[in-house]
Amino acid sequence: MPEFRKDPVIGRWVIIATERAQRPHDFHAPKEEPKGGFCPFCEGNEKKTPAEVYSIRRPGTSPDDPGWQVRVVPNKFPVLRVEGDVEKRAHGMYDRMRGLGAHEVFIETPEHLTTMTPLPDAHVTDILSAYQARLIDLQRDGRMRYGMLFKNVGAEGGASLEHTHSQLIVTPVVPRRVEEELNGARRFFDYRDRCVFCDIIDQEMSSDDRMVMTTDHFVAVAPYASRFPFETWIMPRKHQSHFEHSSRQEIEDLAFILKRVLRRIEGALENPPLNYMIHTAPFNVAPLDHYHWHIEIIPRVTRTAGFEWGTGFYINPVPPESAAEYLRNNPEEPD
Amino acid sequence: MPEFRKDPVIGRWVIIATERAQRPHDFHAPKEEPKGGFCPFCEGNEKKTPAEVYSIRRPGTSPDDPGWQVRVVPNKFPVLRVEGDVEKRAHGMYDRMRGLGAHEVFIETPEHLTTMTPLPDAHVTDILSAYQARLIDLQRDGRMRYGMLFKNVGAEGGASLEHTHSQLIVTPVVPRRVEEELNGARRFFDYRDRCVFCDIIDQEMSSDDRMVMTTDHFVAVAPYASRFPFETWIMPRKHQSHFEHSSRQEIEDLAFILKRVLRRIEGALENPPLNYMIHTAPFNVAPLDHYHWHIEIIPRVTRTAGFEWGTGFYINPVPPESAAEYLRNNPEEPD
At B271-311, the pLDDT tens digits run: 999 999 999 999 999 999 999 999 999 999 888 888 888 88
- Cα–Cα distance for residue pair A233/A218, rounded to 1 Å: 10
User: For residue A85, what pLDDT is reported?
Assistant: 80
Sign of the CA dihedral A122, A127, A132, A138? positive
User: For residue A84, what pLDDT is reported?
Assistant: 78
| Lowest-pLDDT range of A170-174, B7-11, B301-305 | B301-305
Q: Report the number of distinct structural domains present in chain B.
A: 1
Residue B31, domain member (yes or no): no
Q: What is the pLDDT of residues A59-100, one digit of tens each?
A: 999 999 999 999 999 998 888 888 878 788 888 899 999 889
Residue B8, domain member (yes or no): no
Query: For the residues A19-47, what does the mean pLDDT come to?
Result: 77
User: For residue B21, what pLDDT is reported?
Assistant: 54
User: For residue B80, what pLDDT is reported?
Assistant: 86
- In Å, how far is A248's CA from the nearest CA of chain B? 25
Q: Rg for chain A (alpha carbons), in Å?
A: 20
Cβ contact A4–B200 (<8 Å)? no
Task: Suggest the residue from B95, B199, B231 to mutate for an interface test with chain A (most A CBs closer than 10 A).
Answer: B95
- Cα–Cα distance for residue pair A47/A66, rounded to 1 Å: 10
Query: Which DSSP string corresponds to A147-181?
Result: EEEEEEESGGGT-S--S-EEEEEEESS--HHHHHH
Query: CB neighbours (10 Å) of residue A85?
Result: 10
- In Å, how far is A168's CA from the nearest CA of chain B? 9
User: For residue A25, what pLDDT is reported?
Assistant: 65
**How crowded is the C-beta side of A118, counted as CA atoms within 13 Å?**
10
Beta bridge partners of B169: B103, B148
Query: For the residues B96-125, what does the mean pLDDT come to?
Result: 95
User: For residue B308, what pLDDT is reported?
Assistant: 84
Query: For the residues A125-140, what does the mean pLDDT come to?
Result: 97
Among B5, B17, B148, beta carbon nearest to A79: B17
Query: Taking a C-beta distance cutoff of 8 angstroms, is the pair B12, B225 a contact?
Result: yes
User: For residue B28, what pLDDT is reported?
Assistant: 59
**CB interface of B with A, residues 234-293, below 8 Å:** 275-279
Chain A residues near residue B146 by CB distance under 8 angstroms: 311
Check pLDDT > 90 for residue B84. Answer: no
| Confidence grade of residue A20 (pLDDT, cut at 50, 70, 90) | low
Any B CB within 8 A of A123 CB:
no
Chain B residues near residue A97 by CB distance under 8 angstroms: 3-4
Check pLDDT > 70 for residue B59. Answer: yes
- Cα–Cα distance for residue pair A209/A224, rounded to 1 Å: 10
In the set A163, A165, A217, A292, the catalytic residue is: A165
CA distances (Å), origin B296, targets A309, B223, B305, B327? 10, 10, 21, 16
Among A20, A91, A279, beta carbon nearest to B77: A20
Residue A295 burial (10 A CB sphere; 0-12, 13-18, 19+): buried
Residue B4, domain member (yes or no): no
Query: For the residues B227-255, what does the mean pLDDT come to?
Result: 97
Q: What is the pLDDT of residues B21-45, one digit of tens each?
A: 566 667 756 666 677 789 999 999 9
Query: For the residues B93-113, what does the mean pLDDT come to?
Result: 94
Residue B120 burial (10 A CB sphere; 0-12, 13-18, 19+): exposed
Chain A residues near residue B203 by CB distance under 8 angstroms: 92-94
Sheet strands side by side (includes A3-6): A314-316, A13-16, A3-6, B94-98, B89-91
> Residues, chain A, total?
335
Task: Suggest the residue from B3, B205, B208, B233 to mutate for an interface test with chain A (most A CBs closer than 10 A).
Answer: B3
Any B CB within 8 A of A152 CB:
yes
Task: Suggest the residue from B32, B182, B303, B316 to mutate for an interface test with chain A (most A CBs closer than 10 A).
Answer: B303
Residue B185 burial (10 A CB sphere; 0-12, 13-18, 19+): buried
Residue A207 burial (10 A CB sphere; 0-12, 13-18, 19+): exposed
- Comparing A37 with B268, the larger pLDDT belongs to B268
- In Å, how far is B175's CA from the nearest CA of chain A? 5
CB pairs under 8 A between A and B: 223
Residue A318, domain member (yes or no): yes
Positions of B marked active-site: 165
Cβ contact B311–A157 (<8 Å)? no
Among A79, A279, A309, beta carbon nearest to B310: A279
Check pLDDT > 80 for residue B186. Answer: yes
Check pLDDT > 80 for residue B51. Answer: yes
Nearest CA in chain A to B97: A4
CA distances (Å), origin A78, targets A81, A99, A149, B319? 7, 10, 15, 16
- The CATH number covering residue B156 comes to 3.30.428.10
Query: For the residues B94-116, what does the mean pLDDT come to?
Result: 94
Kindly give the residue spans of alpha helices, DSSP state H, lying in chain A.
121-138, 176-192, 196-205, 248-269, 306-311, 320-329
Among B5, B203, B307, beta carbon nearest to A150: B307
In whole numbers, what is the pLDDT of chain B averaged over residues?
92
Residue B38, domain member (yes or no): no
**CB interface of A with B, residues 70-89, below 8 Å:** 77, 79-81, 84
| Lowest-pLDDT range of A40-44, A238-242, B216-220, B306-310 | B306-310
Residue B162, domain member (yes or no): yes
Q: Per DSSP, which regions of chain B are E strands?
A: 3-6, 13-16, 54-57, 68-74, 89-91, 94-98, 102-107, 146-153, 165-171, 211-214, 218-221, 232-236, 274-279, 294-299, 314-316
**CB interface of A with B, residues 177-196, below 8 Å:** 177-178, 180
User: For residue A181, what pLDDT is reported?
Assistant: 96
- Cα–Cα distance for residue pair B206/B204, rounded to 1 Å: 5
Domain of residue B234: give its range: 47-82+93-174+182-329
| Confidence grade of residue A18 (pLDDT, cut at 50, 70, 90) | confident
User: For residue A28, what pLDDT is reported?
Assistant: 59
Cβ contact A315–B225 (<8 Å)? no
Query: Which DSSP string corresponds to B258-282?
Result: HHHHHHHHHHHHTS--EEEEEE-PP
- Cα–Cα distance for residue pair A219/A16, rounded to 1 Å: 23
- Comparing B108 with A25, the larger pLDDT belongs to B108
Task: Suggest the residue from A170, A309, A316, A321 to mutate for an interface test with chain B (most B CBs closer than 10 A).
Answer: A309
pTM above 0.90, yes or no: yes
CA distances (Å), origin B88, targets A4, A134, B91? 9, 45, 10
Query: Taking a C-beta distance cutoff of 8 angstroms, is the pair A171, A143 a contact?
Result: no
Work out the end-to-end distance of chain A between its first and last CA atoms, rounded to an integer number of angstroms: 41
Residue A84, domain member (yes or no): no
Cβ contact B94–A307 (<8 Å)? no
In whole numbers, what is the pLDDT of chain A averaged over residues?
92
- Cα–Cα distance for residue pair A325/A331, rounded to 1 Å: 11
DSSP state of B245: G
Parallel/antiparallel/unpaired status of strands B294-299 and A68-74: unpaired
Among A4, A95, A313, beta carbon nearest to B6: A95
% of chain A beyond a pLDDT of 90: 76
| Lowest-pLDDT range of B120-124, B154-158, B277-281 | B154-158
| Lowest-pLDDT range of A144-148, A329-333, B28-32, B282-286 | B28-32
Among A92, A96, A200, beta carbon nearest to B6: A96
Q: What is the pLDDT of residues A284-309, one digit of tens each?
A: 999 999 999 999 999 998 888 888 88
Cβ contact B305–A17 (<8 Å)? no
Residue A203, domain member (yes or no): yes
Cβ contact B4–A81 (<8 Å)? no
